[in-house]
Structure 1
Amino acid sequence: MGSDVSILRNWGFKTVAMALNTNSISIEDKKLSAEKRLALIFGSEGYGLPSNIITACDYVVKIPMSHQVDSLNVAAASAVAFWQLRVRK
């Protein structure tokens, strides 16, 4: 699937791996809203995204949460991400 990420880039998208790791930036980061075209990539519930996909993406993005919650199911995560990133600058 790493090649699929490069296809998105060839189509003019910056790619976003929705994943929680040490390189993740907040979904509220202004760099994201400044991008013209974003392709968000979500992993499966439980396993998340494979590391090769995360590495291939332009951004690794997390949704800030509190109270020791470390993940949302993919439906909830996508709803939050689409809402937050709906406004383009």
Structure 2
Amino acid sequence: MIEPFANDHQSMQIGDLVIENQQDKIIIYGDIDLTFDELGYKQAQQLHELSGKIVQAFEEENLYSKNSAKSKENDDQLDKNIDNPFL
């Protein structure tokens, strides 16, 4: 289980759902089929535990109001124009 917002190198997988940890965001992508059996129950438990830890991190650290933790360099899209190398 990851420690939400603790570092930039942890990740985990539940089914085909991938959760990547970063200091200023949690990235979740993929999909998961929660089947009504023992495996589905275990995956649902993992999702529940993870979402609880994420909410707890928000409540304890008040991260959502700290703009200093966000970094443009770590963002997927920078706010600058670059030359098109194909022209």
The two structures have a TM-score, normalised by structure 2, of: 0.27
Q: Answer with 1 or 2: which has the greater Rg.
A: 2
TM superposition score normalised by structure 1 = 0.26
